[in-house]
Amino acid sequence: MSHFKAPPKKNLGQHFLTDRNIIEQIVHALDPKPGDLLVEIGPGQGAITFPLLKKHGHLTVIEFDRDLITPLSEAAHGLGELTIVHKDVLQVDFNKLGADQAIRLIGNLPYNISTPILFHVLSHCQKIRDMHFMLQKEVVDRMAAEPGSKVYGRLSVTLQALCEVIPLFDVPPHSFNPPPKVDSAVVRLIPRPADTVGIHDSAMFAAVVRDAFGQRRKTLRNALSKLCTSEQMQAVDIKPESRAEQLPVSAFIRLANLLSA
């Protein structure tokens, strides 16, 4: 009999994966190797957790819903060593998980707070080896968008500056209970080594990207007028009459570095 009695909670973004093929595809994409430190955000009723635990033998999960903590621990019995962190993932300091070892993060994320979770984990980027996340397909499209695309924006530039973004496969609503209203997709993020990112001042980089896309229809000359002059843009090979959506990630980094020098 199932250990899980409570119905899915909308306010916690609970859409439980029920499609075995998709679960297998996720485990296959993760391809855990002995010794890997696996951490799952939002295990829910264990759709991904238990297959991973059986395969890998140990796993740490971070779950906010108190009604799931005891059932998770009971259902894990005999499958492997499950460490349950009962916490809001936004309060978790990933640097304190698992000594010096880099984390492999995985999660079918609660869509209502997926962007804050992404930015929170990115602030621990150097502790993370890779991430496999289920998100709204629309978010994955924005994460992976290239310059010139309509959906290339703040999320694309911020993420691509810090990580390699690799969309893996799409997942339809009927793979979940209850089905979400939108299509989903699984994405792999691989943090770039710190010495190759090249951002000198992350606050300045964030400000440049925010202002550039805050007024995406405006030319960069107008959108960035509070932060820099046309001459400064030209000094790093940016045309002041161009728009943010045309600018590659490397150009945002060059401009931010010039302004923080």
Nearer to ligand SAM, 48 or 97 (CB): 48
Residue 124 CB, nearest distance to ligand SAM (Å)?
15
Q: What angle do CA 183, 31, 176 make, to 5 degrees?
A: 25
| Nearest CB to ligand SAM, comparing residues 121 and 204 | 121
Measured from the CB atom, is 148 or 179 closer to ligand SAM? 179
Pair 3, 44: CB distance under 8 Å: no
> At closest approach, how far in Å is the CB of 90 from ligand SAM?
6
* Contacts for 162 with CB less than 8 Å, ≥ 6 apart: 122, 125, 191, 192, 197
- What are the residues binding ligand SAM (CB under 6 A)? 12-17, 41-45, 47-48, 62-65, 88-90, 108, 110, 113
Name which of 91 and 149 has its Cβ closer to ligand SAM. Answer: 91
Q: Rounded to an integer, what distance in angstroms lies between the CA atom of residue 130 and that of residue 195?
A: 17
Residue 195 corresponds to which amino acid?
D
* Tokens 């502790």, residue located: 127
Count of beta carbons in the 10 Å neighbourhood of residue 29 = 15
CB of 43 or CB of 191, closer to ligand SAM? 43
Q: How far is the CB of 11 from ligand SAM (least distance, A)?
A: 9
Task: Output the smallest distance, CB 20 to ligand SAM, in A.
Answer: 12
Instruction: Give residue number: closest CB to ligand SAM.
Output: 42
What is the distance, to the nearest Å, from the Cα of residue 255 to the centroid of all Cα atoms in its chain? 25
CB of 200 to ligand SAM, least distance (A): 32
Read off the tokens for 17: 């994966």
Instruction: Give CA–CA dist 247/212, Å, rounded.
Output: 10
